[in-house]
Amino acid sequence: MKKAQVCEGSSKATGPTTTTSRYGKRPFVVVEEEDEQLDDVADANNNELVTVNEAGKKGPSVEDNSFTVFLSDPDILHCPICFHPFTNVIYQCENGHVACSVCCVNLGNKCASCSLPIGSIRNRALEKVLESIKLPCPNAKHGCNDTLLYSEKCGHESKCFFVPCTCPHKDCEFVSSVFDLPAHFRSEHGSSTVVRFLYSEPFNITLKAEDEDTILQAESDGKLFILQNLVTSLGNAVNVFCIQPDSMAIYQCEISAMSNGCSLGIKYHAKNIQKFTVSTDLSSRFLVIPSGYFGASEPFNLEIRILYLEAWKIICC
């Protein structure tokens, strides 16, 4: 694999092949052997790293002529109307203005720039460029090995299981995939206060009104949850979050508060979050324990049960 860097107005070749624009001081591409420092250059200049596939010669063995480039302006691969990444179908008007197929329909097939008809002429050149571009997943450093077409980028990011998650322990800024988080927590925070539990099995926690949030950890897979205890004008709002990507399985959570023969309860789907802070918003469902409901100074006992959503469906059906 070779790498190519988009440079501005330089005449010095930094690799075996240099292509400059015939229009004078314009960006050109420098192709050079793979260098680990290129990643740092891309980050420093807010450029986007892409892999371009170049057709090799036909024969019994096809040479891989792909190389990596830095796009100094990734917006050129986005529709100028909706600003979403282009898909495989791109239209242009007679003046060369481009738009995605969705925007052509929404605009009544009238170009937003010059009002000429648009929606019948394909921009085959730009479509071929998109077909040749491949990107590593933005979460590659956290373990995702998927290589994506540019048009697949947004869809993959919303479903990727390797979205970085932050350790919920106070003052810890460790970030990793959800798969590496349990091992970190056990090795670095094993002696801290944490409540370990078994899925589908009820467990008890005693809370006072002013108690801070509590970390919960599943015994079987080490998955981390947060029991949030938020003081509101109505009383204590109690809620459970799961530390994992939004695209992963949802857990069913049951919370019951009991004291002096009184009880309150709720059953809901735990919200997935990637980083917990004190200001983390409550999910749409939470248990409110009114001030003084269990006595002014009495702690209240919580019985909690966390289930896989699939397991909960089986039990209910």
Report the alpha-carbon distance of residue 300 to residue 257 in Å, rounded: 6
- Confidence label for 41 from pLDDT (cuts 50, 70 and 90): very low
Residue 32: pLDDT band by 50, 70, 90 thresholds?
A: very low
Residue 207 near residue 229, CB atoms below 8 Å: yes
Domain around 192: 165-316
Distance CA 180, CA 274 (A): 13
Q: Write the CATH number for 309.
A: 2.60.210.10
Per the prediction, the chain carries an average pLDDT of: 77
> How does strand 195-197 pair with strand 165-166?
unpaired
Per-residue pLDDT band at 50 (split at 50, 70, 90): low
Q: Which CA distances in Å does 82 have to 75, 79, 126, 168?
A: 11, 6, 17, 37
Cα dihedral sign, 288-294-296-298:
negative
Q: Which of 3-7, 19-23, 37-41, 260-264 has the highest mean pLDDT?
A: 260-264
96 pLDDT higher than 90: yes
Position 246 in a domain: yes
Torsion of CA 208, 184, 171, 206, to 10 degrees: 0
Instruction: Convert 72-96 to b/e letters by CB count within 10 Å (16 or more is b).
Output: beeeebebebeeebbbeebbbbeee
- Looking at the structure of the chain, the number of domains it has is 1
In a domain, 147, yes or no: no
DSSP 109: S
Pair 47, 8: CB distance under 8 Å: no
Spatial separation of the C-alpha atoms in residues 298 and 207, rounded to whole Å: 9
- Higher-scoring residue by pLDDT: 7, 159: 159
Dihedral angle over CA of 308, 313, 314, 317, nearest 10: 160
282, part of any domain: yes
pLDDT tens-digit series, residues 71-89: 788 788 899 999 988 888 9
> HSE-up of 108 (CA within 13 Å, CB side)?
2
Of 133, 178, 185, give the one whose Cα is nearest residue 160. 178
User: What is the band of 151 on the pLDDT scale with cuts at 50, 70, 90?
Assistant: confident
pLDDT at 74: 77
Q: In this model, does residue 11 exceed pLDDT 90?
A: no
- CA dihedral sign, ordered 215, 220, 223, 225: negative
| Rama region for 307: left / alpha / beta (φ>0; ψ in -120 to 50; rest) | beta
Taking only the tens place, the pLDDT of each residue in 172-219 is: 989 999 999 999 999 998 777 789 999 999 999 988 878 888 999 999
Q: Determine, yes or no, domain membership for 32.
A: no
**Residues 265-270, mean pLDDT to the nearest whole number:** 90
Question: Is 125 within a domain?
Answer: no
Cβ–Cβ under 8 Å, residues 79 and 112:
no
Which of 106-115, 121-130, 205-214 bottoms out in mean pLDDT, i.e. has the lowest?
A: 205-214
Please indicate, yes or no, if residue 73 is contained in any of the structural domains.
no
Mean pLDDT of 21-49: 42
Asked if residue 120 has pLDDT above 80, the reply is yes
Q: What's the average model confidence in pLDDT over 3-23?
A: 37
Question: Domain for residue 34, yes or no?
Answer: no
192 lies in some domain: yes
Band of pLDDT at residue 49, cut at 50, 70 and 90: low
The confidence score (pLDDT) of residue 297 equals 58
- pLDDT above 50 (res 308): yes
